[in-house]
A and B are shown apart, each in its own frame.
Chain A
Amino acid sequence: MVTLTINGRQHELDVPEQMPLLWALRDVVRLTGTKFGCGIAQCGACTVHLDGEAVRACVTPVSQAQDREITTIEGIADDAVGSRVQRAWLELGVAQCGYCQSGQIMGAAALLKQTASPSDEQIVEAMDGNLCRCGTYSRIRQAIHRAAEHGEESA
């Protein structure tokens, strides 16, 4: 048995310890907001937070996620930074097909938790592993700046 704390709730899962966290989330806990893109940590669609840091769930075994706070897109609205990111995303109309956007939002929220007001260069560095085939990068960049502004307003 593996015990995972996901979005503040404990889940007892009867899964192998090496099961990728992505499969535990999607197939076992049925939290499908986190997406499969490539399975080799090269696209970022499966990005979730472990203790507030962005990780790729497709290559993170559940054993590594035990005793840590797992946050997924379904729980990010409960986080002050996360909800600001969602709001900025809506204001700027970022998403096109939407498939990578859970991962983008989780990546952006993790960045803003570390760096409240990132520069363009810091955004590129933090987000370069989150691919978007629709090419929404320009709006993602704007939305991260917007979310940072919202953070300053509420500070």
Chain B
Amino acid sequence: MRTLTELSPASAKARADQQGRNKGDGPLARETSDIARQGAPGTTRAHESAVKHVTGRAAYIDDLQAPADALHVALGLSPVAHGRLTRLDLEKVKSAPGVVDVITIVDVPGHTDIGPVFPGDPIFADDEISYVGQCLFAVAAESHQAARRAVTLASVEIDERPASLDPVAAAEREEFVRPTHVQQSGDWQAALSGAAHVIESEQFVGGQEHFYLEGQACLVQPTEDEGVIVHTSNQHPSETQKLVAEVLDIPFHAVTVEMRRMGGGFGGKETQASPWACIAAIIARRTGRTTRVRLPRAEDMRATGKRHPFHNRYQLGFDAQGVLQGGDITVIGDCGYSPDLSEAIVDRAMFHADNAYSLGSARVTGHRAKTHTASNTAFRGFGGPQGMMIIEAAMDDIARRLGQDPLTIRKRNLYRAGRDVTHYGQPVEQLGLLHDLIAQLEQSSDYWARREAVVAHNARNPIIKKGLALTPVKFGISFTAKHLNQAGALLHVYTDGSVMINHGGTEMGQGLHTKVCQVVARELGLDLEQVRISATRTDKVPNTSPTAASSGADLNGQAARDACLTLKARLFDFAAEHFGADRGGLDREGMRLEAGALIAGSGEAERRIPWGELVQAAYLSRISLSEKGFYSTPLIHYDRETAKGRPFYYYAFGAAVAEVSVDTLSGEYLVDRVDILHDVGDSLNPAIDIGQVEGGFIQGMGWLTSEELKWNDAGRLVSDGPATYKIPAFGDLPPVFNVELMQGHPNSQASIYRSKAVGEPPFMLGMAVWSALRDALSSLVDYREAPRLDTPATPERVLMAAEALRQRTLASQEAHHAPA
């Protein structure tokens, strides 16, 4: 699969490499490695920044050279979770050494609310304090250190009030950031009362810190008129442009946002990157100086929102075979203090409460609880993972109730003909793919033989218990906010034949730019080296959507293709008349761009015009060599009134098998082996897609196992750095980790070359690890019961679950032996 060109030591190229290295400026640095030569969509092809990544030359925000007089910003953050700001004395801050400017809410020229979709996010706290880490003021100084020292001199008085930190209690009091939404299909009450079995349960699903290795950062330069140029590590440049303009009270066209690459985003730079850009922009305009913000890790973790923790409840009825008949599901998302994106995030949890299974007649209710923490936000999966956890818990629970293997129950409940419409009314397409995928993985992972081995192991070993689980993923692709499903691209061909493509998507490591370059190279019949991509800029492609919802390549790839198709048509029209005019012109029918040439006709009549010649001729004949492209996703709609529609263009599928070993006396465990089969339709780039699947799985596993957010009773985040918050490290990589892409199932919808989105869906493959842990614990009671296992399933939680099972077993034995 990974067939990147290797340098032959004998080649002239290798000699040139060696020479380059001797001069200290090797070809790696000049980015002319052979790896850039391969190309078309569907082929493995290195990340467009690969060489820069391995030489340290890929520039992130804090690496950008700024003028010598650039200012550094530090933030004054609230130390309490809830209260009224009664006094903010910043005199000592202003007179501290090196301080140039200090701003609070009264210094904001325009809008003071920077809520991205709904209002509720003040740029600085005005009166009400809503969480620990809320921004009170900002200091700009000659150095980072001077700014940070000055911040500590502030005199802040807050009339502290009790903080609301329990989302369930908040929901009972109906303290919501957005209204409750309900989806319903059929008579769920009748389904429950008529079902042979009913199970009720609840679960807590923890949040997650993004922990992008590059923290929030921006660099803002004032421009010659009233505007600014904002360099930012950011998934949503257009929104930052809007908010900066509104905060400065200037037109959008006075603000240009540029974004080359992020050192990780994962959703944490969709709305959470804007506040710092707004603050820096105000200071840059007030001082006329370039202004830099770079949040220290602990402040970054306290000030910005995270994945929503969820409290889920279900009551589900099923028949003797374990097939769901229907029921009632409630999800409560802990949204933090403001709406941010929580409306859509809790919606997505509701849309995924079925995962890959037909719920039957069901009601799904989603609450958006308001608490005094940072406003929780987008994170890979966008609520979908938290929603899926409900039904995966239910599958295990049903299996134990009926004494069946959980995989058997999962397979019986998969969407199938006759049970193929979701609780929100969307038919599930590609059912054959879903069933084939699971059958293939079941076989390739040797599930049933390993099941026998696991059971045999557990019978022999009283302490170390093994667990095994296969969990599927069905993830809906499209923004559920319909208007966001659009994208633009700008294509330039220069007179030397080199091509520049720009689009509205942002690169955060997912390989989006590489894929878009592959699309352009394919459409224009060029070598990938001839296509270059530049930083995302709001003055090149305007009014863009965030790079989110896994949709980056789907939307921007199509927009880039659209630009190519229009330009191609123009060039073909031109070529048909211009070339071979003496013989009546070229045959316009069947004209194509291939292997660096325009080809017309076939057989003996075939004519080839080299790309360079075509471009030159077109230019001299005053034919435009520039084109814009646009795309909007067809078919999608969702009516919130009826809670019905087709919110997703298509679904992406996958499945994972995980095997774990649990020390049931300590709760510690190891993930021994993972097998994954994942659907990306016809892959645009298998190497990049497999990388996304591997990384998504690891991140999802971290979410469900080791990544524990902890707040103290006063609402202060105490897991505020890598010493106290554990993301997966090398030691967490399963020793056996088999990852394959599903073959032979192109997207049933007309996505870009029938590929599928890959950013988020693999994240939820991590659920297999959690389910395998429950499986191992179940063995303690002969698989009669699936213990409740909230997440993250830390060793402590696993130990407590094991203890609870043992206690209950003891109690029942004692009851059994007690004298009558």
Contact B56 A139 (CB under 8 A): no
Task: Give complex CA distance A134, B263 in Å.
Answer: 9
Binding site for A on B (CB under 8 A): 2, 4, 6-7, 9, 21, 24, 26, 28-29, 33, 35, 44, 46-47, 49-60, 62-63, 65, 210-215, 261-266, 294, 296-297, 508-511, 687-688, 691-692, 694-699, 721-723, 727-733, 735, 737, 739
Contact A100 B50 (CB under 8 A): no
Contact B694 A138 (CB under 8 A): yes
Chain A window 2-41, contacts with chain B (Cβ cutoff 8 Å), 1 for yes, 0 for no: 0000000000000000000000001000111111111110
Q: A121: shortest Cβ distance to chain B, in Å?
A: 9
Q: B443: shortest Cβ distance to chain A, in Å?
A: 23
- Given A133-B266, A135-B699, A135-B728, decide whether A97 and B261 contact each other with a Cβ distance below 8 A: yes
- Given A95-B54, A99-B214, A139-B691, decide whether A124 and B730 contact each other with a Cβ distance below 8 A: yes
Contact B2 A35 (CB under 8 A): no
Contact A129 B688 (CB under 8 A): no
In the complex, given contacts A42-B722, A120-B735, what are 12 additional A-B residue pairs having Cβ atoms less than 8 angstroms apart? A32-B62, A32-B63, A72-B56, A93-B691, A95-B509, A96-B691, A99-B509, A105-B54, A127-B730, A133-B211, A137-B732, A139-B691
CB closest chain-A residue, reference B762: A135
Question: Which residues of chain B have C-beta atoms less than 8 A from A130's C-beta?
Answer: 729-730
Interface residues of A in 62-93 (CB under 8 A from B): 72-74, 77-78, 83, 86-87, 89-93
Interface residues of A in 37-53 (CB under 8 A from B): 37-40, 42-43, 45
Contact A35 B731 (CB under 8 A): no
Contact B213 A99 (CB under 8 A): yes
Contact A133 B55 (CB under 8 A): no
Pick from B52, B692, B723, B731: contact of A98, CB below 8 A.
B52
Task: Give complex CA distance A96, B53 in Å.
Answer: 9
Task: Give complex CA distance A133, B702 in Å.
Answer: 10
Q: B38: shortest Cβ distance to chain A, in Å?
A: 11
CB closest chain-B residue, reference A73: B56
Q: B11: shortest Cβ distance to chain A, in Å?
A: 14
Interface residues of A in 101-150 (CB under 8 A from B): 101-102, 105, 120, 123-124, 127-141
Question: Which residues of chain A have C-beta atoms less than 8 A from B263's C-beta?
Answer: 35, 97-100
Question: Which residues of chain B have C-beta atoms less than 8 A from A87's C-beta?
Answer: 7
Question: Which residues of chain A have C-beta atoms less than 8 A from B7's C-beta?
Answer: 87
Contact A86 B55 (CB under 8 A): yes
Task: Give complex CA distance A45, B53 in Å.
Answer: 13
Contact A77 B699 (CB under 8 A): no
Contact A36 B62 (CB under 8 A): yes
Q: A42: shortest Cβ distance to chain B, in Å?
A: 4
Task: Give complex CA distance A43, B727 in Å.
Answer: 10
Pick from B53, B55, B696: contact of A77, CB below 8 A.
B55
Contact A97 B56 (CB under 8 A): no
Question: Which residues of chain B have C-beta atoms less than 8 A from A30's C-beta?
Answer: 65
Contact B722 A40 (CB under 8 A): yes
Task: Give complex CA distance A99, B47 in Å.
Answer: 14
Task: Give complex CA distance A100, B735 in Å.
Answer: 22
- Given A77-B26, A96-B47, A105-B54, decide whether A91 and B2 contact each other with a Cβ distance below 8 A: yes
Pick from B46, B56, B737: contact of A74, CB below 8 A.
B56
Task: Give complex CA distance A92, B690 in Å.
Answer: 11
A-B contact pairs, 13 of them (CB 8 A): A26-B62, A36-B62, A36-B215, A74-B55, A86-B28, A92-B2, A93-B46, A97-B508, A99-B264, A134-B509, A136-B695, A137-B729, A138-B733
Pick from B51, B52, B721: contact of A38, CB below 8 A.
B721
Contact B262 A97 (CB under 8 A): yes
Pick from B213, B688, B694, B721: contact of A35, CB below 8 A.
B213
Contact A98 B58 (CB under 8 A): yes
Task: Give complex CA distance A123, B269 in Å.
Answer: 32
Contact A35 B214 (CB under 8 A): yes
Question: Which residues of chain B have C-beta atoms less than 8 A from A78's C-beta?
Answer: 21, 24
- Given A97-B261, A97-B508, A123-B730, decide whether A90 and B54 contact each other with a Cβ distance below 8 A: yes
Question: Which residues of chain B have C-beta atoms less than 8 A from A132's C-beta?
Answer: 213
CB closest chain-B residue, reference A127: B730
Contact A133 B723 (CB under 8 A): no
Q: A79: shortest Cβ distance to chain B, in Å?
A: 10
Contact A135 B53 (CB under 8 A): no
Contact A97 B509 (CB under 8 A): yes
Contact A93 B56 (CB under 8 A): no
Contact A90 B56 (CB under 8 A): no
